[in-house]
Amino acid sequence: MRDPSAIGQVADTEQVTGVIRGDEVVADLENVVKDYPGPPQVRALDHASLRISQGELAAIVGPSGSGKTTLLQIMGTLDRPSSGRVEIAGYDVQSLSDRELSALRAQQIGFVFQQFFLLERESALENVANGLIYRGTNTDERRELAVHALERVGLSDRLHHRAAQLSGGERQRVAVARALVGRPAIVLADEPTGNLDTRRANEIIELLEHLNRDNVTIVVITHSQELADRLPRLIRIRDGRIVEDSGRPSSATRQPRDRP
């Protein structure tokens, strides 16, 4: 059992990334309900169950209002379910305090958003390195890890370009690098191609496929059927329910962790 008082005090990258084995489930949702108070009350998730294993590349697809954004928020521990069980990287989300959830997000979850959310006047290197600030990583190590992450996404020649000087596709690559820099257990990508033209959107999809071949676990949330059809696993959500799942991950033995 880990000491809850040590939350947020990350010793080193090996300690953080070593908690997920290749055969483990990294996201496990069972009968998750999410209600938003009214009037009228809205049920955004209706007994949704989903399991993502380490190394998967999956798409969650659905139209506006289907519940996919709420599902992302629950998986990303940005919101808590009204009922049901949620485990992320082996941790029981319901048992964690808000402070512990923040630490879990910083250590185990990477986010990629449609809007990029980059600091325009800072370089690609600084934007990616900033993703490690809340993990207690020192400045030199942050920069070293950021350089490696940017190299992984093909931006080794853009390290010192400010975000405002980059194309849309390059900006999204910076956002992907920022999500990867801490080597999280899972990366959640919310409409990662939504603001890109067709060519650059294809480049981002190919990048995600390449990263997944390196065993990065990625879940893409999208309304695009074309994008979803390209990924190995398709999960369809409608009216807050999982109505289709093209593949199930292999069974894995889990030992839930007590605290991050």
Least confident of 9-23, 187-201, 215-229: 9-23
Confidence of residue 18 (pLDDT cuts 50, 70, 90): very low
Closest to 151 measured CA to CA, from 199, 213, 211, 218: 211
| Domain 4-8+32-245 listed as CATH 1.10.3720.10 | no
User: Averaged over 55-67, what is the pLDDT?
Assistant: 95
Over the stretch 84-137, which tens digit does the pLDDT of each residue have? 999 999 999 999 999 999 999 999 999 998 888 999 999 999 999 998 988 878
pTM: 0.84
- Residue 181 contacts residue 147 (beta carbons within 8 Å): no
Q: For residues 178 and 187, what is the distance between their CA atoms, to the nearest angstrom?
A: 10
- Residue 60 contacts residue 68 (beta carbons within 8 Å): yes
Tracing tokens 């009214």 back to the chain, one arrives at: 38
- Residue 60 contacts residue 220 (beta carbons within 8 Å): yes
The domains of the chain are located at 4-8+32-245
